[in-house]
Structure 1
């Protein structure tokens, strides 16, 4: 079996990539990284480094024009400040809506694009790294089990029943993801999760807070904080 991994260069997608390589071998894994107009290139640089480490084919795709009308705070064209607090704190102010760093239907677009490429590359499965913490409180609704099930049905039927998607972390937490990755000896020092593009993680944005806590729950320090 050949697998395509939707790959950002962050903690979750790198763990998914490691799982795919461990299960299917690097010759049967293709990584797809998508630029969507984010403020920095750190994720893409990290993705390149991780793909070199695992020696997998790496494809990049630019979908930034799809989000030209979005006011998401993650995008380079937006001057709004990225919230420097946990997702739980942010959700207290959204009245049930997603957080400001939610890119409109991003995973839907990513998975649709990945499906076209996966079929062209002879893949029969797509991995992506959605987990339960991201879906909690409707912070990122395109990481929820309901979304995953609906997209899997659409992609399976729309591909002539040749392709399925798998979110191996959909029912577990980020701390659980880190545990899996530590067991697989994932090179987390090569990854990047922070919404800012500095030399070191800011430690204050929602994803930094979640990442740091996930490592701490496993009794270790995030290797990016040791550099």
Structure 2
């Protein structure tokens, strides 16, 4: 069994990689990271660190041109500021069901790209770290259980019934993911989730808030908070 893991360098995808390595061995795991035109590359740098830590092959793709027409606030060409506050707060103040940090159909594109590479690398399964908190109502529709099931069927059929998708955290909360990563002794200090690309995590954007809360639920402290507070 050979596994291709979508690796952004954040908490969820890094825990996915740790889970795959623990289950199948690093010799049977390939990681795939994608640059999509985001305002900073801190997560990609973290993906390299995580892949190096687990001694797995890392393939890097540049998909930026596909998102050149989007005004998502995460993208370098966007004039929008990255919002602060929780996803719930952002949705309450928005006229749309999705929020400004939603990159249009990003997971669909990532998974389609991964399916092609998985076939070429003789991988049987694609792992990715979507989880229930990511759906955030309908703020990130390409993280839902229904989306995962539909993409799994499409890729299974489109690959000649050779490649499947597994989202091992799709029914879990981020705190459950952190719990699993802590059990696996994942070096979370090497990961990066913050939407800002500064030296230290901001602690104010939605992904920082969710991440830090997940550690606290596990009676732990996000190592990036420790680094920020000791700067």
Q: TM-score range by the shorter chain?
A: over 0.9
For residues 32-43 of structure 1, the aligned pairs below 5 Å read 32-43=32-43
The equivalent residue for 2:197 is: 197
Contact persistence 1:96–1:137 (CA under 8 A): no
CA distance in 1, matches of 2:182, 2:209: 19
- Answer yes or no: is the 8 Å Cα contact 2:87–2:136 preserved in 1: no
- Spell out the pairing of 1:18-57 with structure 2 (5 A cutoff): 18-57=18-57
Q: Which runs of 5+ in 2 are unaligned?
A: none
**Residues 71 and 79, structure 2, Cα contact 8 Å, conserved in 1:** no
What is the deviation of 1:95? 4.1
Using the alignment, how far apart are the partners of 1:191 and 1:112 within structure 2?
Answer: 25
TM-score scaled by structure 1? 0.99
Match of 2:210 in 1: 210
- The answer to whether the 8 A contact 1:193-1:208 is kept is yes
Mapping of residues 1-227 of structure 1, within 5 Å:
1-95=1-95, 97-227=97-227
Tell me how far 1:225 sits from its aligned partner.
1.2
In 2: Cα distance, 1:67 partner to 1:93 partner: 25
Assess if the C-alpha contact under 8 Å between 1:96 and 1:138 holds in 2: no
Task: Map Cα deviations across residues 143-182 of structure 1 (whole Å, 9 max, x no partner).
Answer: 0000000000000000000000000000010000000100
What displacement does 1:90 show? 0.6
Deviations 1:47-93 (A, max 9, x none): 01011100000000000000000010000001211001100101112
Secondary structure at 2:23 match in 1 = helix
Count of residue correspondences: 227
